[in-house]
Amino acid sequence: MNIEHLVTMANDIGNFFTSEAGDAAAPKEVATHITKFWDPRMRSQIIGHSKSGGEGLSPVALTAVGLLVPPVQRD
Amino acid sequence: MHSLDLHDHGTPATHGAPVTLNIDGADVTVPAGTSVMRAAAVAGGAIPKLCATDSLKPFGSCRLCLVEIDGQRGFPASCTTLVAPGMKVKTESEKLEQLRKGVVELYLSDHPEDCKECAAGDRCELHQVAADLGVTEVRYGRDGQSHQKGKVDDSNPYFSFDPSACIVCSRCVRACGEVQGTFALTIDGRGFASKVVASQDEGFLASECVSCGACVESCPTGALTEKSLMRIGQPDKVVKTTCAYCGVGCSFDAEVKGDKVSRMVPSRDGGANRGHACVKGRFSYTYTTHADRITSPMIRKKITDPWQKVTWDEAFQHAASEFKRIQKTYGRNSVGGITSSRCTNEEAYLVQKLIRAALGVNNVDTCARVCHSPTGYGLGQTLGTSAGTQNFDSVQFSDVIVVIGANPTEGHPVFGSRMKRRLREGAKLIVVDPRSIELVSSPHIHADYHLQLKPGTNVALINSIAHVVATEGLIDEAYVAERCEDAAFNKWRAFVSEQRNSPEAMENVTGVPAAMVRGAARLYAKGGNGAIYYGLGVTEHSQGSTMVLGIANLAMATGNIGREGVGVNPLRGQNNVQGSCDMGSFPHELAGYRHISDTVTRELFEKDWGAKIDSEPGLRIPNMFEAALDGTFKGFYVQGEDPAQSDPNTLHVTAALEAMECVIVQDLFLNETAKYAHVFFPGASFIEKDGTFTNAERRISRIRKITEPLGGLADWEATIGFAKALGYEMHYAHPSEIMDEIARLTPTFRNVSYTKLDEVGSIQWPCNDAAPEGTPTMHIGKFVRGKGRFFVTEYVPTEERSSSRFPLLLTTGRILSQYNVGAQTRRTENAVWYDEDRIEIHPHDAENRGINSGDWVGIASRAGETVLRAIVTERVQPGVVYTTFHFPESGANVITTENSDWATNCPEYKVTAVQLTKVGQPSAWQQRFKSENAEQLRLLREAATARKERLA
């Protein structure tokens, strides 16, 4: 998956929840949204990206990705 | 000519207090305001008539429906005379018969003698009346002046007008005005010279006529007649069905001779359309028998190979073995598919079931992803359910109608006509659109406010409207206090009240004068019942979901949800977008919008299906393409959709399709996606199968099989065959059994069944024990989620902005005569109205670039380039250009980008920064498309040859 797109998507979600929920609550809301709507491979990839510095991720998105539970691959 | 089984009451129904009168010695009780003619019809009688029909206001011109009324002088027309308590009416007498015979004789004196040539046959009302009255001779002879040599107007592809059969009753003229609201027809001349003309007597095709066919249906004689009726002949049966075009979901009485549809007549009792239709529904069903239909399953190893025609079983086995191979090689999650918003509920349900149960993945999505997925998210979050709040009848009770990012008269024409009727009755209109759509100014309709915003600034505008509501004391405080969450509301109120959200502060962003925003906000909030109707101009933005939230916020704040006449109403694009969403087509939820991670729901389905369901959400359509390019998604089953044409950034999509190893397309035609396919399952049209569609008002309606599938199998049968080849058995003998399963597993469908649908015609979900007859209006008393929830909707400008390189903003839309990717309508006669996509540009922008109407112009964006012919028009504002996307060779989506909604990934079709330049040849992409298309058609023709050889 194109990591730039995933970063943009995560930041866009972060923008919404920062204004909706406030700075403190936003990361949890973002993490919930990503968990609810993103396929495991997308989540794995953004988690991997954050672990290697998370270039391009906004502070809220970066914190949110840190809250994600790594998906378990069933294959 | 009316439907075969119509019992016409002559004048419309009314809803007054009961009034009892006496007709021909029998007491009759009807509502006040009813005509004597209708009262007689209700009582079982039939007063002769020609100019009256119950879809139109009484006119009183034909003088056939005369009656005698005690205490009244003369012979009043029963159509224009209203009932009164104690009134005594005589409908038959010697004098009345004499008068009626005289009138009929005069009509017949200027009417063709020989009915054998007339397609109306014995359904001509004039000849029926003549027969009933026993008029067999005309005393006046036929040598005098007459209209019998009038020239037939054959210009319209679907109907003809023969003035010799016209009795100038004005039913056609009135239908065009009252029902359709176009006012294209008139009676020209006076006295004997009176005649029906279209516009300025320029023929139907060249006139303003929109070919809705209301005039043809209302014609009592054969003057206006469908050409299909002339060609096929009088029907021998009527089959009730539902249109397969837009989300209005009109009900039709298909009149059938043998296995051929001789004409489609909109059902008077159709809940969605109330007896009206548009050019597509009434006439443009001929694609179902077009020569381009593919009727044999086909396979090929590579997309550069010729197609090979095979049996269904061979196709199933090949497809299954490929998907199994791919899953074994690349992992279970390397496959997925798309359910169709053009197929039935039952078929969408089966495809998602196949993907979840037979393939063991949740990589299933539907075309709502690229149109109304933000509606699902936004309305689900705020109100608790992912659907519109009203039925279409509700608009009759609206005082203020707000149309945001929708073009009902083009995209949802039958509802557009109903809306126009209400506007002519006096309802106020606010249009929010970058473009001057027809509703802004058309005969007898003028928008009170046209908020002509810049593309991409919806959220800024809705916030500034909300600012006015919040700061000028326009909030319905009692409603909000009773029905909405306090904390979320207070947060929203504080947010929208900030000065930065005021119309004045936002004026530079939206381009809409602050005073207009304030006026519109006051009108919506305090003008009575306020109803919002919106379309893809709301959802197809990077902030599409935010805008839906903003709309719901505004409706809740003003108390405009939970009764007739109000509400938040998404106008759905395709016939079954609502249904495909309801059926669990999204990768994160099962039927009834229940999240895949919910163990209880999942176990319910697992037990019923006998299969394990993954608890993780799957890939959405854009994610599937990304994964394909990444090498992790290789098998794709597409039923009845064409992402290679309809999805944004065509080059990106086609590259993804090329990267896949097995693409299965199930469709009527070799669509653009099929050119990248390895397996082709021939699809069945809506007249070839049974099933249900769910329209934009949550109305579930039946389609019924008229003829056998040309390819041998209905789509649901093909899915069953594919599943079986994958090793997963599905046991259904009829789609009704699939609906029974849906009802069993989906609380909002609990009481839906084919038996019930046959009884009541159509049902709006939820339909369960709490609402056994369905739910026309939602959220009465309380919201589905309990308390309504407000959301803060910060405006975040899209990344797609005009620049010196791309100074114009492109937005896209639809036109009446074409539909979506055009696969259906391009294969009808509708091309006479619109045979290519064009680009609209404002005169100022055109002049700066030396562009004139008809010039070829190159349209370049950061995604790609295409060439279209220009229309210079003030319909678009300076800085904005507009096109449709009905023709694949246009490459409209070559230039749209992969920007998408933050919550749902719905593409931002409505904002693309572009530059236009005058050019002399097609774009490089178009030239390549032309040659590749020719090659794919050659490969298809080779399949035909191969089949012949094989048979030999």
Q: How far is B683 from chain A (nearest CA, A)?
A: 30
Structure tokens at B509: 């962003």
Structure tokens at B424: 């002519």
User: Which residues have C-beta within 8 Å of that of residue B647, sequence separation ≥ 6?
Assistant: B370, B621, B622, B625, B653, B893, B907
**Contact residues on chain A for B794, CB-CB shorter than 8 A:** 15-16, 19-20
Judged by CB atoms closer than 8 Å, whether chains meet at B796 and A71 is answered as no
| B428 and B497 assigned to the same domain | yes
| B819 and B718 assigned to the same domain | no
Ranges assigned E (strand) in B159-207: 159-161, 185-188, 195-198
| B548 and B581 assigned to the same domain | no
The pLDDT of residue B117 is 76
What is the SS3 assignment for B92-128? Answer: CCHHHHHHHHHHHHHHHHCCCCCHHHCCCHHHCHHHH
Buried b (16+ CB within 10 A) or exposed e, B640-657: bbbbbbbbbbbebbbebb
Interface of B with A in 895-914 (CB under 8 A): 898, 900, 902-905
Structure tokens at A66: 């840190």
Judged by CB atoms closer than 8 Å, whether chains meet at B617 and A37 is answered as yes
Residue B930 pLDDT more than 50? Answer: yes
Q: Which residue has the higher pLDDT, B5 or A3?
A: A3
Judged by CB atoms closer than 8 Å, whether chains meet at B794 and A39 is answered as no
Judged by CB atoms closer than 8 Å, whether chains meet at B333 and A41 is answered as yes
The number of domains in chain A is 1
Residue A74 pLDDT more than 90? Answer: no
Judged by CB atoms closer than 8 Å, whether chains meet at A12 and B632 is answered as no
Backbone angles phi, psi at A48, to 5 degrees: -60, -40
User: How far apart are the C-alpha atoms of B751 and A11, rounded to whole Å?
Assistant: 43
CA geometry: angle B74, B80, B85, nearest 5 deg: 80
| B527 and B617 assigned to the same domain | no
- B475 in any annotated domain: yes
| B719 and B823 assigned to the same domain | no
User: How far apart are the C-alpha atoms of B714 and B701, rounded to whole Å?
Assistant: 18
The secondary structure of residue B779, as a DSSP letter, is -
Q: Which residue has the higher pLDDT, B440 or B117?
A: B440
State the count of interchain CB pairs (< 8 A) between A and B.
Answer: 70
The residues of A whose Cβ lies within 8 A of any Cβ of B are 1-2, 5, 9, 12-13, 15-16, 19-20, 33, 36-42, 71, 74-75
**Contact residues on chain B for A2, CB-CB shorter than 8 A:** 626, 629-630
Q: Given strand B260-266, what is the order of strands in its sheet?
A: B237-242, B251-257, B260-266
User: How far apart are the C-alpha atoms of B519 and B864, rounded to whole Å?
Assistant: 41
| B601 and B561 assigned to the same domain | no
- A75 in any annotated domain: no
Cβ pair B650, B644 in contact under 8 A: yes
User: How far apart are the C-alpha atoms of B165 and B431, rounded to whole Å?
Assistant: 42
**Contact residues on chain B for A75, CB-CB shorter than 8 A:** 331-333
Q: Which domain holds residue A31?
A: 3-67
| B553 and B421 assigned to the same domain | yes
Task: Give yes or no for B623 touching A (CB within 8 A).
Answer: yes
| CATH code, B627 | 3.40.50.740
- B25 in any annotated domain: no
Q: How far is A48 from chain B (nearest CA, A)?
A: 16
- B22 in any annotated domain: no
Nearest residue, CB atoms, B623 vs list A12, A42, A75: A42
Nearest residue, CB atoms, B902 vs list A13, A42, A71: A13
Cβ pair B209, B186 in contact under 8 A: no
Query: What is each CA distance from B506 to B462, B469, B544, B717, in whole angstroms?
Result: 10, 15, 19, 54
Interface of B with A in 482-541 (CB under 8 A): 495
The pLDDT of residue B3 is 78
Q: What is B218-285 written as a DSSP string? A: H-SSSSEEEHHHHHH-S-SEEEEEE-SSBTT--EEEEEEETTEEEEEEE-TT-TTTTT---HHHHHTT
Number of H helices and E strands in chain B, helices first, is 30, 36
Q: What is B861-928 written as a DSSP string? A: -SS-EEEEEEEE-TTBPTTEEEEE---GGG-HHHHS-S-B-TTT--B-TT-EEEEEEE-SS--HHHHH
pLDDT average, residue stretch B629-639: 97
The pLDDT of residue A57 is 98
Q: What percent of chain B has pLDDT over 70?
A: 99
| pLDDT grade for B952, boundaries at 50, 70 and 90 | very low
Which residue(s) pair with B401 in the sheet? B429, B531
Query: In this structure, which amino acid lies at residue B783?
Result: F
CA geometry: angle B148, B153, B158, nearest 5 deg: 130
The pLDDT of residue B618 is 97
Find, in chain B, the residue whose alpha carbon is nearest to that of A14. B902
| CATH code, B488 | 3.40.228.10
The pLDDT of residue B849 is 97
Q: Which domain holds residue B511?
A: 391-569
- B230 in any annotated domain: no
User: How far apart are the C-alpha atoms of B212 and B679, rounded to whole Å?
Assistant: 38
**Contact residues on chain B for A5, CB-CB shorter than 8 A:** 626, 898
The secondary structure of residue B563, as a DSSP letter, is S
What sign has the CA pseudo-torsion B12, B15, B21, B25?
positive
- B69 in any annotated domain: no
CA geometry: angle B198, B230, B214, nearest 5 deg: 40
| CATH code, B876 | 2.40.40.20
What are the pLDDT digits (tens) for A11-52?
A: 999 999 999 999 999 999 999 999 999 999 999 999 999 999
The pLDDT of residue A73 is 66
Nearest residue, CB atoms, A1 vs list B333, B595, B626: B626
This complex has an ipTM of: 0.96
Q: How far is B748 from chain A (nearest CA, A)?
A: 22
Nearest residue, CB atoms, A16 vs list B333, B546, B614: B546
Judged by CB atoms closer than 8 Å, whether chains meet at A39 and B587 is answered as yes
Q: For an interface test with B, give the residue of A15, A16, A60 to mutate (most B CBs within 10 A).
A: A16
| B407 and B367 assigned to the same domain | no
What are the pLDDT digits (tens) for B460-484?
A: 999 999 999 999 999 999 999 999 9
User: How far apart are the C-alpha atoms of B31 and B43, rounded to whole Å?
Assistant: 13
Cβ pair B797, B456 in contact under 8 A: yes
User: H helices of B670-734, where?
Assistant: 715-725
Find, in chain A, the residue whose alpha carbon is nearest to that of B905. A9
The pLDDT of residue B627 is 96
What are the pLDDT digits (tens) for B249-300?
A: 999 999 999 999 999 999 999 999 999 999 999 999 999 999 999 999 999 9
| Closest-CA residue to B767 (of B691, B705, B694) | B694
Residue B221 pLDDT more than 80? Answer: yes
Give me the residue label for tokens 């019924």.
B704
| B482 and B580 assigned to the same domain | no
**Which of B1-10, B767-776, B839-848 is the least confident region?**
B1-10
User: H helices of chain A, where?
Assistant: 3-21, 26-37, 40-51, 59-67
Task: Give yes or no for B378 touching A (CB within 8 A).
Answer: no
- B628 in any annotated domain: yes
- B220 in any annotated domain: no
**Contact residues on chain A for B326, CB-CB shorter than 8 A:** none
Give me the residue label for tokens 């006012």.
B183
pLDDT mean across residues, chain B: 96
| pLDDT grade for B140, boundaries at 50, 70 and 90 | confident
Cβ pair B810, B894 in contact under 8 A: no
User: How far apart are the C-alpha atoms of B336 and B940, rounded to whole Å?
Assistant: 26
The pLDDT of residue B951 is 47
What are the pLDDT digits (tens) for B675-717?
A: 999 999 999 999 999 999 999 999 999 999 999 999 999 999 9
The pLDDT of residue A72 is 82
Nearest residue, CB atoms, B623 vs list A15, A33, A39: A39
| B820 and B890 assigned to the same domain | yes
Residue B765 pLDDT more than 70? Answer: yes
**Contact residues on chain A for B617, CB-CB shorter than 8 A:** 36-39
Buried b (16+ CB within 10 A) or exposed e, B592-626: bbbebeeeebbebbeeebeeebbebbbbbbbbbbb
The number of domains in chain B is 3
Query: In this structure, which amino acid lies at residue B887?
Result: F
User: How far apart are the C-alpha atoms of B513 and B506, rounded to whole Å?
Assistant: 9
Mapped onto helix, strand or coil, the DSSP state of residue B322 is: helix
User: How far apart are the C-alpha atoms of B265 and B262, rounded to whole Å?
Assistant: 10
User: Which residues have C-beta within 8 Å of that of residue B590, sequence separation ≥ 6?
Assistant: B584, B596, B601, B602, B605, B613, B745
- B130 in any annotated domain: no
- A73 in any annotated domain: no
| pLDDT grade for B318, boundaries at 50, 70 and 90 | very high
Cβ pair B549, B901 in contact under 8 A: no
Of B536, B569, B602, which residue sits at a domain end? B569
Ranges assigned E (strand) in B291-413: 298-299, 308-309, 335-339, 364-366, 400-404
| B495 and B641 assigned to the same domain | no
The pLDDT of residue B898 is 86
Find, in chain A, the residue whose alpha carbon is nearest to that of B614. A74
Find, in chain A, the residue whose alpha carbon is nearest to that of B618. A39
The pLDDT of residue B950 is 54
| B581 and B562 assigned to the same domain | no
Cβ pair B658, B358 in contact under 8 A: no
User: How far apart are the C-alpha atoms of B11 and B599, rounded to whole Å?
Assistant: 56
Buried b (16+ CB within 10 A) or exposed e, B866-896: bbbebbbbeebbebbbbbbbbbbbbbbbbbb
Which residue(s) pair with B196 in the sheet? B187
